[in-house]
Structure 1
Amino acid sequence: MPENMISATIDELPQLQGSTFGPSDWRTVPQSEVDLYAQLSGDDNPIHVDADFAAATPFGGRIAHGLLTVSVAVPLLRQVFRVTGMGMGINYGMNRLRFPAPVPAGSRIRIAGRVAEVTVIDGGLQATVVVEVEVEGNSKPACVAELVLRYYR
């Protein structure tokens, strides 16, 4: 388990505001997952699936879809940020989402972030969590997302 993991019960969640967490473990994003995502989503942009086309682009090879990057970040987030003692938790949405750098197929990513805000909602709490997805060996993040998570009692 990563060293900088934060965990709290739903009642302790407000105390985490301002806390940082991560990084998570590294996770490889193989071309097979990029291909599967392209098939499932219908997004078959050649930058993702056509090796010859992608090699001729400024990226020099195939890259993961931005939304695939967000999706595979979810299990990484669970490694380093956990809320317990609740009835249900949901991803309520995102306030902001950017993809400053690509995730080359076959590269490794990890996630780190901070709890920006915790507010009371009917039946529970809402946490705004800012996360960055790092690509191994790249100084620029692949994804910066402001996630809105809801936890109900």
Structure 2
Amino acid sequence: MPGKYYEDLPLGMHIKHALGRTLTEMDNVLFSSLTMNTQPLHIDEHFAAQTPFGQRIVNGIFTLGVVVGITVGDLTAGTIIANLGYEAIKHPNPLFHGDTIYVETEIIAARESQSRPDCGIVTMKHIGRNQHDEICIEVTRSALFLKRPLVDNAEHEPE
């Protein structure tokens, strides 16, 4: 299983995720349409050309989803029970069609779950940068991770 267990995520750990994702016009328009987001900054080129951006910008909620998705293979695949919350989402710079996003994660808090002894709560800060190394999104995310399973030695002792 590629995901990390609670014990594998010490405070201060830093992960630079190798996977990048180029964001296309189709991604942006399809996501905006599927979510019924009619914001002209995302879907109306004529309107967006007259804004300070000069062109359409990528939907921020789509960007958030891609950032979290990029982390799955390195962090959570098969080892989380649930995402508990997203906080302090910031978009300091826009993303445009054709930009590529890269993500890094820092573990900023970790504690054992009080209600689930087989789990721990990990808080991560994800930072997404474009191909020019400009920060385009920051998000703090908490998730309920499984603890590493204990091996029952009685079952594995030779008779």
Give every structure 1 segment of 4 or more consecutive aligned residues whose post-TM-superposition deviation is greater than 6 Å.
Answer: none
Letter in 2 for 1:142: C
Shifted more, 111-120 versus 73-82: the winner is 73-82
Contact 2:40 2:48 in 1 (8 A): yes
2:121 is paired with a residue whose SS is: strand
Counterpart of 2:129 in structure 1 is: 134
Size of the alignment, in residue pairs? 143
Letter in 1 for 2:68: V
Counterpart of 2:5 in structure 1 is: 9
Q: How does 1:39-118 map to 2 (within 5 A)?
A: 39-82=33-76, 86=79, 88-118=80-110
For the aligned residue pairs, the C-alpha RMSD in angstroms reads: 2.0
Counterpart of 1:125 in structure 2 is: 120
Normalising by the residue count of structure 1, what TM-score does the alignment of the two structures yield?
0.83
Q: Deviations over 1:72-100 (max 9, x none)?
A: 1122112443476x4x4211111311111
Rg (Cα) greater in structure: 2
Contact 1:24 1:77 in 2 (8 A): no
Identical-residue share of aligned pairs (%): 20
Contact 2:103 2:129 in 1 (8 A): yes
Q: Following the alignment from structure 2 to structure 1, what is the Cα–Cα distance between the partners of residues 4 and 65?
A: 23
Contact 2:120 2:145 in 1 (8 A): yes
Counterpart of 2:21 in structure 1 is: 27
Letter in 1 for 2:108: A
Q: Following the alignment from structure 2 to structure 1, what is the Cα–Cα distance between the partners of residues 77 and 87?
A: 20
Q: Deviations over 1:39-87 (max 9, x none)?
A: 1211111110111211221112111111110011122112443476x4x
2:32 is paired with a residue whose SS is: helix
